[in-house]
């Protein structure tokens, strides 16, 4: 089963490698991992997407909780949640037909063109991983020059929040 | 008070109440060594190799329950310490290891004696720190001791670049009196509802079994465990790490369990209907095949580390908390629960005593060769069962665990988790410094002892009257045993050729050496050695090289699939 684990960590050097090291040392899967500082600059927020049986995911959350740098942790897939991923994709768009086709597609997917050159577009798209995959599938594979994906960011819906006070 | 970084390190150790620092100087820690030189509150013990420093600090910690402290230099100093750090980590031993680091400006430049100590030690510490500012030394050391000694204990590394201890930069010093970390607050008190559920199950058990481990000793809960067990009258087994947590001489004690545990302990584990696991972690050397582990039992597990719960074996009633707290609460409530049927318990004990009557630890007492078991039994008798016993790793370790009946905690000091050969001698140094008047024996083999034998020099320098009991069978005995059983006796590289003359070797360090070759001389030699209160005595017992450790459960087998010695096979 796929799980999204959301964590608040001390914003300290080495915190990321403690998490990455834990996953490799214990043979856990990481599908994606994102980390960035929060509004409180002493904290960073990490989102890990992992897969495993319930028993393994239980161990993963316990082992992560045991890391001294981890302040708070939640498996947000346990409740209602929203997940988003950002993708930047560079396409080779030489002919007017291809440009038109790409513009139509990006409209449908509610993305934006954020850079234009004589031969290329860079598009920006957000959504669930599935939506981004669907876009890639819809575009002619031959014109894709590069894709960059941020990995999943997730947040629980409603009153639930992963904060210091709550 | 204004102090420089080096003085702050030493003053912090003093304010933390540290008696001994085990270490070895080098470039990156010279400022700290200079600070050590100027005071005498914190005593420095100079080892011969950094691995020795970590094991000695570890031995000190295990013999006292306090944190052991090491000081080593950057680069090779730190890498040499890694084995000892990992040893402490696997057995959850509180330790603070200060490693020197190259100057902050040189970090990452492949400078002389630079390694990424924080990176290298990360997987084998409870936590580690790199201190980049002299103002952070005291608070970081305070945190290090706090983390090392609370919750599930473990080693903490504090890496300090040389410029941070610069003697010319002085800052305000105050050692923090307490620590508050929002990201670290171990649970100590057990959940009341879980405790009630556990007590109900415990009181309804028909074939109960208590299985306790090193956590009991780390928690200082041996008295509570003894009370708990004796109030219930239930059988108890200890893991290798848990020996001494319950008196090994008591009738309720059925011996150690696991791969080389007793027949009665393992059979009782297999047949029990309620298992009470206390501060034990269901290690593979204990469980054997987890699919056939305690097949009929409901399992209660008390442990301070939530990640230990249901890691290897699913448990029915977990209780997360400090064992001392939890057992105290359970003991207070036990009175209101009475065992439903004493008949069941009596029948259970009849069964256990039947298993016990097989005398699974029996060995040939008429042999003309020295049997290693006999040496340990005699050691036990000569020291009245009160010595601190350290060991290395292998057959001698198992015989020490089987035949030395530890009466109290902190007395059995061995590398159970990592299985580090070379641990015994330096660990004995730590234990002897912690208990200068006590008898300290290092039970070892001729192979293990050579892995840290240089520490004989340390023992001489500080006049530590250890007794080294070497069971010399001219083989890496446990390797030889596995090769005999599982590799059709192809003894690939397990024979110890070119052994030194240990008597002369000990003498060359200034110690007393003895070689004992006949069973009739064993007792006399041990008595003579222990009578030499001021001297280290190195006893080289030439033992039967074909002797194997029995009983044995082969790796991955169930508790009821034990092997006894070839002439004493059990059904």
User: Which of B119, B129, B183 should be substituted to probe chain A, the one whose Cβ sees the most A Cβ atoms within 10 Å?
Assistant: B183
Other CB atoms within 10 Å distance of the CB of residue B546: 12
B50 catalytic? Reply is yes
Backbone angles phi, psi at B48, to 5 degrees: -105, -10
Q: What pLDDT shows up at residue B569?
A: 52
pLDDT at A166 exceeding the cut of 50: no
Query: Is A126 touching B (CB cutoff 8 A)?
Result: no
DSSP H/E element including B156:
strand B155-161
Pair of tokens at residue B382: 């000569």
B478 catalytic? Reply is yes
B324-354: buried (b, 16+ CB within 10 Å) or exposed (e) per residue?
bbbbbbbbeebeebebeeeebbeebbeebee
Taking CB atoms and an 8 Å cutoff, what residues of chain B touch A42? none
CB contact under 8 A, A14 and B122: yes
Which tens digits make up the pLDDT trace of A96-124?
Answer: 999 999 999 999 999 999 999 999 999 99
Q: How confident is the model at residue B465 (pLDDT cuts 50, 70, 90)?
A: very high
3-state secondary structure of B251: coil
DSSP H/E element including B303:
strand B298-303
Q: How far is residue B364's CA from residue B566's CA, in Å, rounded to a whole number?
A: 12
**Residue A104: Cβ-neighbour burial (10 angstroms; 0-12, 13-18, 19+):** exposed
What is the average pLDDT value for chain A, to the nearest integer?
94
A21-60: buried (b, 16+ CB within 10 Å) or exposed (e) per residue?
ebbeeeebeeebbbbeeeeeeebbbbbbbbebeeebbbbb
Q: What pLDDT shows up at residue B267?
A: 96
Rounded average pLDDT over A15-44? 94
Taking CB atoms and an 8 Å cutoff, what residues of chain A touch B154? none
Q: Which residue blocks in B124-250 are alpha helix, DSSP H? A: 137-149, 192-203, 214-219, 222-232
Q: How far is residue B253's CA from residue B264's CA, in Å, rounded to a whole number?
A: 10
B253 catalytic? Reply is no
pLDDT at B223 exceeding the cut of 90: yes
Q: How far is residue A132's CA from residue A110's CA, in Å, rounded to a whole number?
A: 11
Q: Please, what's the largest Cα pairwise distance for chain B?
A: 76
Strands ordered across the beta sheet of B43-46: B43-46, B20-23, B68-72, B95-101, B155-161, B127-130
B539 catalytic? Reply is no
Query: Is B133 touching A (CB cutoff 8 A)?
Result: no
Q: How far is residue B358's CA from residue B369's CA, in Å, rounded to a whole number?
A: 24
Min Cα separation A67/chain B (Å): 8
Which tens digits make up the pLDDT trace of B361-375?
Answer: 999 999 999 999 999
DSSP H/E element including B95:
strand B95-101
Min Cα separation B306/chain A (Å): 7
- B540 touches B442 (CB < 8 A): no
Taking CB atoms and an 8 Å cutoff, what residues of chain A touch B307? 59, 62-63, 65-66
Which tens digits make up the pLDDT trace of B556-566?
Answer: 889 888 888 76
Q: What is the total residue count of chain A? A: 166
Query: Is A142 touching B (CB cutoff 8 A)?
Result: no
Pair of tokens at residue B307: 């990640």
Q: Which residue of A has its CA nearest to B187?
A: A66
Min Cα separation A9/chain B (Å): 8
Interface of B with A in 170-189 (CB under 8 A): 181-184
- B72 touches B90 (CB < 8 A): no
Considering Cα of B472, then B473, then B476, then B479, what sign does the dihedral take?
negative
Q: How far is residue B257's CA from residue B270's CA, in Å, rounded to a whole number?
A: 11
Pair of tokens at residue B71: 């000081």
Q: How far, in whole angstroms, is CA B551 from its chain's centroid?
A: 22
3-state secondary structure of B536: coil
Q: What is the ipTM of this complex?
A: 0.91
Which tens digits make up the pLDDT trace of B531-558?
Answer: 999 999 999 999 999 999 999 998 888 9
Rounded average pLDDT over B435-452? 98
Taking CB atoms and an 8 Å cutoff, what residues of chain A touch B119? 14, 17
Selecting among B209, B476, B478, B514, the annotated active-site residue is B478
**Residue B407: Cβ-neighbour burial (10 angstroms; 0-12, 13-18, 19+):** middle
CB contact under 8 A, B307 and A62: yes
Report in angstroms the alpha-carbon separations of B450 from A133, B422, B562.
60, 7, 32
Beta bridge partners of A3: A50
Query: Is A9 touching B (CB cutoff 8 A)?
Result: yes
Taking CB atoms and an 8 Å cutoff, what residues of chain A touch B124? none
Selecting among B112, B200, B463, B485, the annotated active-site residue is B112
- B160 touches B101 (CB < 8 A): yes
Q: Which residue blocks in B171-293 are alpha helix, DSSP H? A: 192-203, 214-219, 222-232, 263-271, 284-287
CB contact under 8 A, B307 and A164: no
Q: How far is residue A55's CA from residue B12's CA, in Å, rounded to a whole number?
A: 43
User: Which of B143, B154, B159, B307 should be substituted to probe chain A, the one whose Cβ sees the most A Cβ atoms within 10 Å?
Assistant: B307
Min Cα separation B130/chain A (Å): 9
Which tens digits make up the pLDDT trace of B466-493?
Answer: 999 999 999 999 999 999 999 999 999 9
Query: Is A12 touching B (CB cutoff 8 A)?
Result: no
Selecting among B11, B22, B50, B439, the annotated active-site residue is B50
DSSP A103-126: HHHHHHTT-EEEEE-SSEEEEEEE
Taking CB atoms and an 8 Å cutoff, what residues of chain B touch A59? 307, 311
The answer to whether the peptide bond before residue B29 is cis (omega within 30 degrees of 0) is no
**Strands B236-238 and B208-212, bridge-based pairing:** parallel
Chain A / chain B CB contacts < 8 angstroms: 38
B432 catalytic? Reply is no
CB contact under 8 A, A55 and B123: no
B221-230: buried (b, 16+ CB within 10 Å) or exposed (e) per residue?
bbebbbbbbe
Which tens digits make up the pLDDT trace of B232-286?
Answer: 999 999 999 999 999 999 999 999 999 999 999 999 999 999 999 999 999 999 9
Which tens digits make up the pLDDT trace of B289-338?
Answer: 899 999 999 999 999 999 999 999 999 999 999 999 999 999 999 988 86
CB contact under 8 A, A66 and B127: no
Going by the DSSP 8-state scheme, the letter that residue B133 receives in this structure is S
User: Which of A9, A68, A69 should be substituted to probe chain B, the one whose Cβ sees the most B Cβ atoms within 10 Å?
Assistant: A68
Min Cα separation B157/chain A (Å): 13
Beta bridge partners of B129: B158
CB contact under 8 A, B130 and A21: no
Q: How many CA within 13 A on the CB side of residue B525?
A: 26
Of residues A55, A59, A69, nearest to B183 (C-beta)? A69
Q: What pLDDT shows up at residue A161?
A: 86
Min Cα separation A75/chain B (Å): 16
CB contact under 8 A, B183 and A18: no
Q: What pLDDT shows up at residue B565?
A: 75
DSSP H/E element including B30:
helix B30-37
Pair of tokens at residue A138: 């819809």
Q: Which residue of B has its CA nearest to A66?
A: B307
Min Cα separation B86/chain A (Å): 14
Q: How confident is the model at residue A25 (pLDDT cuts 50, 70, 90)?
A: very high
What is the average pLDDT value for chain B, to the nearest integer?
96
Query: Is B314 touching A (CB cutoff 8 A)?
Result: yes
Long-range contacts formed by B175-182: CB under 8 A, 24+ apart: B175/B11, B175/B12, B175/B15, B175/B16, B175/B138, B175/B142, B176/B138, B176/B139, B176/B142, B179/B142, B179/B143, B179/B146, B181/A68, B181/B143, B181/B146, B181/B147, B182/A71, B182/A164
Interface of A with B in 42-101 (CB under 8 A): 55, 58-59, 62-63, 65-66, 68-71
Beta bridge partners of B472: B542
Taking CB atoms and an 8 Å cutoff, what residues of chain B touch A63? 307
Which tens digits make up the pLDDT trace of A7-19?
Answer: 999 998 889 999 9
């Amino acid at each position: 089963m796929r799980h999204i684990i959301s964590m608040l960590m001390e914003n300290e050097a080495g915190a990321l490698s403690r998490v990455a090291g834990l996953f490799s040392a214990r043979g856990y899967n990481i599908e994606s991992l994102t980390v960035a500082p929060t509004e409180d600059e002493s904290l960073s927020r990490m989102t890990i997407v992992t897969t495993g049986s319930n028993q393994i995911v239980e161990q993963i959350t316990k082992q992560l909780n045991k890391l001294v740098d981890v302040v708070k942790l939640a498996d947000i897939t346990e409740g209602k949640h929203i997940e988003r991923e950002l993708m930047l994709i560079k396409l080779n768009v030489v002919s007017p037909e291809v440009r038109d086709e790409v513009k139509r597609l990006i409209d449908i997917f509610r993305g934006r063109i954020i850079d234009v050159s004589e031969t290329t577009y860079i598009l920006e798209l957000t959504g669930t991983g599935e939506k981004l995959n669907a876009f890639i599938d819809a575009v002619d594979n031959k014109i894709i020059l590069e894709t960059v994906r941020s990995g999943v960011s997730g947040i629980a819906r409603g009153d639930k929040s992963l904060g210091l006070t709550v | 008070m204004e102090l420089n970084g080096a003085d702050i390190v030493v003053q912090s150790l003093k304010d933390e109440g540290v008696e001994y620092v085990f270490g070895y100087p080098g470039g990156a820690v010279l400022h700290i060594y200079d600070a050590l030189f100027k005071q005498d509150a914190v005593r420095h013990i100079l080892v011969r190799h950094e691995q020795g420093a970590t094991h000695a600090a570890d031995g000190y910690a295990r013999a006292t329950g306090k944190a052991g402290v090491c000081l080593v230099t950057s680069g090779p100093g730190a890498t040499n310490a890694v084995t000892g750090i990992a040893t402490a980590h696997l057995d959850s031993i509180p330790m603070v290891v200060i490693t020197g680091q190259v100057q902050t400006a040189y970090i990452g430049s492949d400078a002389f004696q630079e390694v990424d100590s924080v990176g290298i030690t990360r997987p084998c510490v409870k936590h580690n720190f790199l201190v980049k500012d002299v103002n952070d030394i005291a608070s970081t050391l305070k945190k290090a001791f706090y983390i090392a000694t609370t919750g599930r204990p473990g080693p903490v590394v504090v890496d300090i670049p040389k410029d941070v201890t610069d003697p010319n930069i002085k800052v305000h010093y105050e050692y923090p009196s307490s620590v508050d970390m929002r990201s670290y607050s171990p649970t100590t008190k057990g959940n009341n509802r879980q405790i009630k559920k556990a007590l109900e199950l415990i009181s309804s058990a028909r074939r109960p079994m208590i299985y306790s481990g090193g956590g009991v000793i780390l928690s200082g809960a041996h008295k509570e465990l003894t009370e708990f067990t004796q109030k219930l009258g239930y059988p108890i087994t200890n893991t290798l790490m848990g020996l001494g947590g319950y008196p090994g001489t008591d009738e309720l004690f059925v011996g150690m369990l696991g791969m080389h545990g007793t027949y009665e302990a393992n059979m009782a584990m297999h047949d029990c209907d309620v298992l009470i696991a206390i501060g034990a972690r269901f290690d593979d050397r204990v469980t054997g095949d987890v699919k056939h582990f305690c097949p009929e039992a409901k399992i209660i597990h008390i442990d301070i580390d939530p990640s230990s719960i249901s890691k290897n074996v699913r448990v029915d009633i977990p209780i997360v908390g400090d064992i001392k707290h939890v057992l105290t609460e359970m003991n207070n409530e036990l009175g209101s629960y009475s065992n439903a049927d004493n008949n069941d318990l009596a029948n259970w004990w009849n069964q256990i005593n039947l298993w016990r009557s097989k005398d699974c630890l029996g060995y040939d007492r008429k042999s003309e060769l020295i049997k290693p078991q006999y040496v340990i039994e005699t050691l036990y008798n000569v020291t009245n069962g009160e010595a601190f016993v350290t060991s290395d790793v292998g057959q001698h370790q198992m015989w020490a665990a089987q035949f030395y009946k530890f009466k109290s905690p902190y007395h059995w000091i061995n590398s159970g988790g990592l299985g580090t050969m070379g641990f015994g001698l330096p660990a004995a140094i730590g234990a002897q410094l912690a208990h200068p008047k006590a008898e300290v024996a290092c039970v070892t083999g001729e192979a293990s002892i050579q892995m840290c034998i240089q520490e004989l020099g340390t023992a001489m320098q500080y006049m530590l009257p250890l007794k080294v009991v070497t069971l010399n069978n001219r083989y890496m005995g446990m390797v030889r045993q596995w090769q005999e059983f599982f590799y059709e006796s192809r003894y690939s590289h397990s024979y110890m050729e070119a052994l030194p003359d240990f008597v002369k070797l000990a003498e060359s360090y200034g110690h007393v050496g003895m070689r004992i070759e006949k069973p009739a001389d064993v007792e006399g030699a041990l008595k003579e050695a222990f009578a030499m209160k001021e001297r280290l005595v190195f006893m080289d017992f030439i033992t039967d090289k074909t002797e194997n450790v029995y009983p044995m459960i082969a790796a991955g087998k169930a508790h009821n699939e034990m092997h006894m010695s070839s002439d004493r096979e059990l059904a």
